Amino acid sequence: MKKSTSKFDKVLNSSRQFGKVNHEPDSSKEIQINTPEKTMPFSDQIGNYQRNKGIPSKSFDNSKIYIVGSGIAGMAAAYYFIRDGHIPGKNIIFLDQLHVEGGSLDGAGNAKEGYIIRGGREMDMTYENLWDLFQDIPALELPAPYSVLDEYRLVNDNDPNYSKSRLIHKQGQVQDFSKFGIEKKDQLAIIKLLLKKKEELDDLTIEDYFNDSFLNSNFWYFWRSMFAFENWHSLLELKLYMHRFLHAIDGMKDFSCLVFPKYNQFDSFVTPLKNFLVDKGVQIQFNTLVEDLDIQISGTTKVVQHILTKQDGKTVKIAVGPEDFVIATTSSMTESTFYGTNDTAPNITIDNKSGSESDGWKLWKNLATKSDVFGRPHKFYSDIKKSSWESATLTCRPSAFVEKLKELCVNDPYSGNTATGGIITITDSNWLMSFTCNRQPHFPTQPDDILVIWVYSLFMDKKGNHVQKTMPECTGNEILSELCYHLGISDQLDNVIENTIVRSSFMPYITSMFMPRAQGDRPRVVPEGCTNLGLVGQFVETNNDVVFTMESSVRTARIAVYELLNLNKQVPDINPLQYDIRHLLKATQALNDYKPFLGEGFLRKILKGTYFEHILVERKEEKEEHESFLTEQLSKLKDWIGTFRN
């Protein structure tokens, strides 16, 4: 690329910054002050200035890119190698042990045999990297020149998402979900957690920190069921989530903070992205298990020289040239899934010992033996009991269940509009069962009289309230029986079973990335000393982003590409709304259920009639003025001063 920038040689040759970009700036450590040395945007400075095209320092036309895993992280890496690295698509090849692309973003089946989606992704408008990617990927159904982002906006701008039945109990009765119900001491604990440094929270669990009053609050029902947190999961990850979604906390009760695609995650995102990459010449090689990387280590420098694969039962070694790069997904949250049907429970033949030998963990385990910079995978795969849960996909013809579902939906589920608006959680369920009906059809070719419903439960070790088994022990029909009991339609179970196909999925590692961790347990995206290797997905370390989102997968891919190619581009840190006084105040009011917080009355007095008076939420139903002690004393002081004027 020297020729491309030759007209700028005088500037570049005299620059102290050229080629020294911090590709992953950290907003939690950066002091935002302008100096002569500050030439790049601040760490979380979101905006069009970040949309510059990357200019590689040299041509990579002859470089080959090997990407292990064709999930969203790997596919995003391919996109950024093409867009920002200017690498020809034909030079990029995926190596995947599966037989279909998409990784954990699945969506398959048909109306006759039943559809299946192992999980879903709740989406946020602040996913800057995800939308950076999909603003350029051609839409699934809109004509050119429209993108996936355009399609997404068209649906969500015109069909608001919210729930009218977020919590239910007592055989299908809607439970009051208007309040978080957090005690003052627990609100203070949340504030203290936000103030703590990340380094203080190594290996701590949520239940190590929070009291039972917090863990039994409505807030925790909302949070844990929405994000799939367990009490024994990482306190550090919970803290990161609270920072990441601070701006959305007030909308978590009714899901008005969320946006959803028209179809399932595979058809909405994987299919159009795969089509784009294949059109660019990218190759996808399935049924290829990558077991290890042959890495030459010299001092702190680490260079991948060969990729060791298993293809059709044979070991095949792929040479990696001096100009080539390797991107590897370290593991998968849906590794070793076990499936069930209406008449069968998942045949779970895995435990902690055998699970550690599964194919999905081999590459990371082998890398970890070579150097500490590759992390400690055993922290994440060693306790299946604490990292698993089960989901079930229901393919429903009209039935008593569908009629009950209609009562809980915002719109008729057959209308194509928002249905439940997100998961409905059954608070008195021993399994802590939740279910959701997204916009229908959920699959492009789904028949008009079919609904696709997703069900999952967090508590795997408890027997059901009605079916005296744990969920993994249950057949699909028994799962229906438990669900119908909680909906108050047990007397119509035969009708529901007759018209519902169930495909269940037990996932041993679905929340393994939430397991308590310490610094160094997860490798960095480009581990120290690696010159041609990037690690992506849900098991690598970023500065401040969370796991279990499509955004974090795309972020890791983007960091890997920019760092390995040393592009003059940064990956901005998470959206800076956590520092915005408006969202801090809004979150404070929401967590206190809009009752006056300490000093609120005084603050309202100061802001009243000023440019900033709108930053406090004004609730119409709470017109009564609540004054703090400080406000009352200020009023008395004004009256006292008035006596001298008279």
Fold classification of 8-103+267-382+512-565 is FAD/NAD(P)-binding domain (3.50.50)
- In the block, tokens 């990357």 appear at 54
- b/e code 401-414 from CB counts within 10 Å (16+ = b): bbebbeebbbbebb
pLDDT of the residue at 120: 86
HSE on the CB side for 63, CA within 13 Å? 22
Q: What is the mean pLDDT of residues 256-263?
A: 97
Element (H, E) at 425: strand 424-426
pLDDT-derived band at 4, boundaries 50, 70, 90: confident
Residues whose CB falls within 8 Å of the CB of residue 362, separated by 6 or more in sequence, listed in order: 289, 291, 292
Mean pLDDT of the chain: 94
Choice between 501 and 16, residue whose per-residue pLDDT is larger: 501
109-150 confidence digits (pLDDT tens): 999 999 999 998 889 999 999 999 999 999 999 999 999 999
Domain definitions of the chain by residue range: 8-103+267-382+512-565, 141-165+389-507, 178-251, 596-643
CA distance 388 to 351: 11
Q: What is the mean pLDDT of residues 602-626?
A: 78
pLDDT-derived band at 622, boundaries 50, 70, 90: very low
pTM: predicted TM-score of the whole model, two decimal places: 0.94
**Residues 572, 25: contact at Cβ < 8 Å?**
yes
Strands 167-169 and 424-426: parallel
177-228 confidence digits (pLDDT tens): 999 999 999 999 999 999 999 999 999 999 999 999 999 999 999 999 999 9
CA distance 191 to 280: 48
Nearest Cα neighbor of 269 from 104, 413, 389 is 104
End-to-end Cα, the chain, rounded Å: 80
Coil vs helix vs strand at 147? strand
504-554 confidence digits (pLDDT tens): 999 999 999 999 999 999 999 999 999 999 999 999 999 999 999 999 999
Q: Is the per-residue pLDDT at 641 higher than 90?
A: no
Residues whose CB falls within 8 Å of the CB of residue 364, separated by 6 or more in sequence, listed in order: 330, 331, 374, 375, 377, 539
384-422 confidence digits (pLDDT tens): 999 999 999 999 999 999 999 999 999 999 999 999 999
CA distance 174 to 167: 6
Q: Is the per-residue pLDDT at 85 higher than 60?
A: yes
pLDDT-derived band at 645, boundaries 50, 70, 90: low
Cis check for the bond before 472: say yes or no (omega within 30 of 0): no
Q: What is the mean pLDDT of residues 18-35?
A: 94
Q: Is the per-residue pLDDT at 642 higher than 90?
A: no
For the chain, percent of residues with pLDDT exceeding 90: 90
pLDDT-derived band at 355, boundaries 50, 70, 90: confident
pLDDT of the residue at 626: 46
Q: Is the per-residue pLDDT at 281 higher than 80?
A: yes
Sign of torsion over alpha carbons 405, 411, 412, 417: negative
Query: Which residues belong to the active site?
Result: 122, 241
Coil vs helix vs strand at 334? coil
List the 500-507 sheet strands across, edge first.
173-174, 167-169, 424-426, 433-436, 451-457, 389-396, 500-507, 338-340
**Which of 2.60.120.380, 3.30.70.20, 3.90.550.10, 3.30.9.80 would CATH assign to domain 141-165+389-507?**
3.30.9.80
